Amino acid sequence: MTSENLAVLRVGDVLLVTVPSDPDDETVTALQERVLQAMERHEAKGLMLDITTVETMDSFFARTLAETAQMVTLMGGRTVIAGMRASVAITATQLGLTLGKVRTALDVDRALKLLDGAHRKRART
Amino acid sequence: MAVGTSGAVAVLEKYKSRILEDWIEGQLRDPRIRGELFKQPDALQRQCQDFIDALVRAAVAEGLDYDDSPQYQEVKSVLADVAEERRQQGFDAQETAAAIISFKDHWIPLLQTEFQDDPGALSAELIAVAKLIDSLALAMFEQTLRETEDRARLLVENVKDYALVTLDSGGHVISWNAGAQRITGYRADEILGRHFSCFYSADDVQQGKTERELNTASTDGRFEDEGWRTRKDGSRFWANTIITALRDRKSKLQGFALVSRDISERKRAEEQIKRQAREIQELSTPVMQVWQGIVAAPLIGSLDSQRTQQFMERLLQRIVETNSPVALVDITGVPTIDTQTAQHIIETISAVRLLGAQVILTGVRPTTAQTLVHLGIDLSNIITRSSLAGGLRVALEALDLEVLSKNGSRQGDTT
């Protein structure tokens, strides 16, 4: 997938980016640029990176994600990475890759709730 | 009776010590001489002395006529002893026969000197001596060969644990032993002449397995395999089989030696161990959903890297499947925590975090807590609790849930 196909969607005051399944270094760099530009343009409060389809994660990708999150924080937003596959998580851990202090969520739904700070419900037994 | 030879014996007696000395010296110069006989010429001396003494005794009595006379038998028996002794010292029958024949080289020159004035007598003596020595060497050679064959045959016939079978070049059974009978159930008279494919299932035969095995043995010299074979009664056994090509000196294929052993017991035991190991591994890492959004995984036993990998996979898989943001990992059942185990737990927790879920470590007993602190393992950024109940409370809180009794009061604070 080329960087041309990257879409940064705005949902309310949150930016939504779906990372392509096998991102190369160029795509990852372009992704960072696009996200930061969109943050500035929309004055978004949050960024969600959906990596559900990503099958492999290398050190460059992991580092860029962590750095992007830091940059977004500096611009006044919060970042949540959503939907990492179990196999990707295991490989990443074994390779010693970390995402720094970035928040993670199981899926897009939970990520949105995290960003909204509004996932409140009650259960009765 | 006694054609010539009386003169030869007289010469032998007259020059006995000199012939003996020359003969021993000659043998020691032979490059084939080795080991004990070379290091301890005494043994060689004794062997040669015994032989010559027997030869002289026999000759004196019978004029050295080599028929079935007791004296000739005595020489032969001495010779057989010598041959056996040398066999144990590592010489083959051919080498011993060569040594016997070399005796002529030391006896004949003396005959030639003694009888130089009587060519007629000389030639008679020479022929007699040559014939005698050659016949003794041949007798010795044959006997040794026969004994070797007998020993080999006894060995093969009596081995019960291995099937030792020879096949002709087409794969038909040409020899059979007790072990083969015990393992397969066929008696020799039932199996001789039959193709060895009768030990294989119809499927194997159809797929050309037997031919393939013989071809491999023929080209590589050897074929080894473990697999199912069929007994006479149709039952199966797991066999380890080695097929070796038998080739003569001109490397023409003469047939095959088939050595086979029934290792069904071992196979069964191995499979049982494998199955149990698999079961234990699966048993020891259950991951269950205890509430919507909460999974719990009790760890039992020590964690090595292989188990960690498996545990991690199962835990992450279940978290994704059940869409649970909280996982309780209970270490009550982990007997001792060492640096390695702690590292593995931390690794698992990092992986869970990448997914977007969090781990609450429960079952931290006093001894575990002490060990963790003494080892300097930092778990400060992981939520830990001493009991599973405590962990569950944290989990419910994280999900913004609480447990109420029927009258509406809060539950769980007192546990």
pLDDT (tens digit, 9 = 90+) per residue, B366-376?
888 888 888 88
Query: CB–CB of B355 and A84 under 8 A?
Result: yes
Question: What is the mean pLDDT of the segment spanning B15-23?
Answer: 82
Mean pLDDT, chain B, integer: 83
Chain B touched by A95 (CB under 8 Å): no
At residue B272 the predicted structure's pLDDT band, cuts being 50, 70 and 90, is very high
pLDDT (tens digit, 9 = 90+) per residue, A24-44?
888 899 999 999 999 888 888
Please name the member of B313, B324, B404 whose beta carbon is closest to the beta carbon of A86.
B313
Instruction: Return d(Cα B379, Cα A87) in angstroms, integer.
Output: 24
At residue B343 the predicted structure's pLDDT band, cuts being 50, 70 and 90, is confident
Distance from the A122 Cα atom to the nearest Cα atom in chain B, whole angstroms: 5
More confident residue, B37 or B228: B228
What pLDDT score was predicted for residue B284?
66
Instruction: Return d(Cα B177, Cα B160) in angstroms, integer.
Output: 8
Distance (Å) of CA B284 to CA B193, B277, B301, B302, B356: 56, 10, 7, 10, 25
Please name the member of B317, B357, B404 whose beta carbon is closest to the beta carbon of A106.
B357
Please name the member of A92, A99, A125 whose beta carbon is closest to the beta carbon of B404.
A125
At residue A2 the predicted structure's pLDDT band, cuts being 50, 70 and 90, is low
Distance from the A96 Cα atom to the nearest Cα atom in chain B, whole angstroms: 9
- E-state strands within chain A: 8-11, 14-18, 46-50, 78-82, 103-105
Distance (Å) of CA B333 to CA B295, B330, B339, B388, B392: 17, 8, 17, 12, 17
Q: Is the pLDDT of residue B281 over 80?
A: no
Q: Is the pLDDT of residue A3 over 60?
A: no
Alpha carbons within 13 angstroms on the beta-carbon side of residue B332 total 13
Q: Which residues contact residue A104 at a Cβ distance below 8 angstroms, ignoring those fewer than 6 apart? A: A80, A81, A82, A84, B353, B354, B355, B356, B357
pLDDT (tens digit, 9 = 90+) per residue, B144-193?
788 778 888 888 888 888 999 999 988 999 989 888 999 999 998 889 99
What pLDDT score was predicted for residue A4?
61
In this complex, how many residue pairs, one in chain A and one in chain B, have their CB atoms less than 8 Å apart?
71
Helix, coil or strand: residue B261: strand
Q: How would DSSP label each residue in B316-385?
A: HHHHHHHT-SEEEEEEEE-S---HHHHHHHHHHHHHHHHHT-EEEEE---HHHHHHHHHTT---TTSEE-
What pLDDT score was predicted for residue A100?
78
At residue A81 the predicted structure's pLDDT band, cuts being 50, 70 and 90, is very high
User: What percentage of chain A carries pLDDT values higher than 90?
Assistant: 25
Query: CB–CB of B316 and A86 under 8 A?
Result: yes
Query: CB–CB of B400 and A125 under 8 A?
Result: no
Cβ atoms of B308 and B348 closer than 8 Å: yes
Please name the member of B324, B354, B400 whose beta carbon is closest to the beta carbon of A84.
B354
What pLDDT score was predicted for residue B239?
92
Using a CB-CB distance cutoff of 8 angstroms, which residues of chain A are in contact with residue B401? Answer: 121-123
Q: Is the pLDDT of residue A120 over 50?
A: no
Using a CB-CB distance cutoff of 8 angstroms, which residues of chain A are in contact with residue B311? Answer: none
Q: Is the pLDDT of residue A122 over 50?
A: no
Other C-beta atoms closer than 10 Å to the C-beta of B276 total 11
Sign, CA dihedral B22-B28-B29-B30, equals positive
At residue B65 the predicted structure's pLDDT band, cuts being 50, 70 and 90, is low
Chain A touched by B197 (CB under 8 Å): no
Residue of B344, B355, B359 to mutate, testing the A interface (most A Cβ within 10 Å of its Cβ): B355
What pLDDT score was predicted for residue A82?
93
Chain A touched by B337 (CB under 8 Å): no
Distance from the A88 Cα atom to the nearest Cα atom in chain B, whole angstroms: 9
Chain A touched by B319 (CB under 8 Å): yes
Using a CB-CB distance cutoff of 8 angstroms, which residues of chain B are in contact with residue A123? Answer: 292, 401-402
Please name the member of B323, B356, B404 whose beta carbon is closest to the beta carbon of A84.
B356
More confident residue, B376 or B70: B376
pLDDT (tens digit, 9 = 90+) per residue, B344-359?
888 889 899 999 899 9
If we measure between CA atoms, which residue out of B178, B132, B146 comes closest to residue B159?
B178
For residue A24, give the DSSP letter.
Answer: -
Query: CB–CB of B355 and A92 under 8 A?
Result: no
Query: CB–CB of B316 and A83 under 8 A?
Result: no
Q: Is the pLDDT of residue B413 over 60?
A: no
User: What percentage of chain B carries pLDDT values higher than 90?
Assistant: 21
Chain A touched by B352 (CB under 8 Å): yes
**Of A94-103, B183-192, B305-314, highest mean pLDDT:** B183-192
